Structure 1
Amino acid sequence: MTAARVRILGFGMGPQHVTPEVAAALGECDYAIAVQKGDEDALLEARRAVCEAYGVELVVVRDPERDRSPGLDRSAYEGAVADWYAARLAAYRAVLDGRGGTCAFLVWGDPSLYDGTIRIVRELDVPFDVLPGVSAPQVLAARHRIVLHEVGQPVHVTTARRLRADVAARQRNLVVMLTAGVDLEGFEDWTIWWGANLGGVGERLVSGRVGDVVGVIEDARAAAKAEAGWVMDLFLLRGPEA
């Protein structure tokens, strides 16, 4: 048995986004590892579709349970997360040690953007490389036929949790990811380009002045979730001209 090697491969939002470079890498892999986070895991099914399209065996690892007890203080919460993280690493190591060979880790979107796979694989202490994928902000811009930044200006990529702090720090053009709903109170005069389930089942798009479309976005988000059984959304938010 050969020692394990890992290839971290961005696959966009499904087989339709797999680049020729990633397709060639998949052809060199003996199997792929993916975590199953529940009985109905839509992201696992997306990875399964990629593996089936390229004839790669998918090895499914059940995500370890994490202590989600209400009322955990900060120390207990951090300890629970550390225990869960260690258990996931152990599950990956067990597969790699038992199988060896070349293993793919399939990353939703692109490995460089709000994904922890590279950090995890570093801790596995195996040789690895990384190939890029199509990211959600790229698809968002293409669907809306826009450039993410204005001429000569920056774009700030952030999370929904950090949105208000970043705006307070004078950011005026933001790609906002990792949303759990859209709280846009106070941004009524800003412009938004929003998308859900981009490139997949339930894709929805809305754009316009926030005050005019916030209700439309809420309805579209609910419709995307109803159609697909899950929803992942993001948006570009741009402030009015000073």
Structure 2
Amino acid sequence: MIDLSLIGIGTGNPDHLTRQAIRALNAADLILIPHKGDGKADLADLRRSIVAEVVTNPATRIVTFDLPVRDAATADYRRRVEDWHDAIAALWASEIAAHLGATGRVALLVWGDPSLYDSTLRIAARLRPAPQVTVVPGITSIQALTAAHAIPLNEINGPVMITTGRRLRDDGFPPGTDTCVVMLDGECSFQSLPPDGLEIWWAGFAGMPEQITERGPLAEAGPRILERRAAARAEHGWIMDIYLLRRTAQA
């Protein structure tokens, strides 16, 4: 049987690795590192640098593979994602068979934590025969965001909604809460909200050496975020960012 470890690595800073993560990486016979194209080569490089820093087992093999591109032609978003996951699972199976065979220990490095807005577990569930899956939890970008701004995630006795840019654009600020965290937002969807009565705490490359932050009333901080985000993306070729929105007492 294949033992598959899905290892949360935080936001790319090697200091985010837990001892459990380091042990799991060194126990692996094979570490798979996805390459998402030239525009995101830094993501593969970050994974490789983490592996180079903490893996001391000379028997561990590190293999990089090209990640399939999600089809943009189909209007059905869920169908596109499902097909993409099928293609990734098939590629994992092929790489594991080619480099390891039917038995052994495989590790994949997952940004943040495998349980939060990440599809690695769903992809792993497609593998046949089913592997023995172990999840090593990691620091999430939400934790890195609140740490960067030194703020609590929630108000006293208050709920928090974690959502996506797509949902924010489609549904507006989530009802029933004064705090929402927005992930997976490549379009700065806070622009779709009436800014009055909202504050924002934003971070790009949260927890990494390149980290940049902005905060303040949405009407004032929003334009600054757009400018800094565009500049950072032009400089690095990619950006991972996250933000927290909170209604003020006057809202």
Question: Does residue 229 in structure 1 map to residue 225 in structure 2?
Answer: no
Amino acid at match of 2:15: Q
Task: Map 1:1-242; keep pairs closer than 5 Å.
Answer: 3-14=1-12, 15-40=14-39, 41-55=41-55, 56-69=60-73, 72-74=74-76, 81-98=81-98, 99=100, 100-124=103-127, 125-164=130-169, 165=171, 167=173, 169-183=175-189, 184=191, 185-241=193-249, 242=251
After TM superposition, the structure 1 stretch with the greater mean CA deviation from structure 2, 165-174 or 105-114, is: 165-174
1:83–1:211 CA distance, 2 compared to 1 (3 A): closer
Question: Unpaired runs of 5+ in structure 2?
Answer: none
Shift of residue 198, structure 1, vs aligned partner:
1.1
SS in 2 for 1:123: coil
1:156–1:52 CA distance, 2 compared to 1 (3 A): same
Aligned partners of 1:236 and 1:143: how far apart in 2?
A: 12
Does the CA contact (< 8 Å) of 1:202 and 1:225 recur in 2?
no
Shift of residue 212, structure 1, vs aligned partner:
1.4
TM-score using structure 1 length: 0.89
Does the CA contact (< 8 Å) of 2:33 and 2:64 recur in 1?
yes
1:12–1:206 CA distance, 2 compared to 1 (3 A): same
1:214–1:166 CA distance, 2 compared to 1 (3 A): closer
Shift of residue 210, structure 1, vs aligned partner:
0.8
Equivalenced residue count is 236
SS in 2 for 1:231: coil
TM-score using structure 2 length: 0.86
Aligned partners of 1:182 and 1:17: how far apart in 2?
A: 26
Identity %: 35
Shift of residue 66, structure 1, vs aligned partner:
4.4
Question: Unpaired runs of 5+ in structure 1?
Answer: none
Does the CA contact (< 8 Å) of 2:29 and 2:104 recur in 1?
yes
1:67–1:222 CA distance, 2 compared to 1 (3 A): closer
CA displacement, residues 141-176 of structure 1 (integer Å, 9 cap, x when unaligned)? 011010011111111111111125252534321011
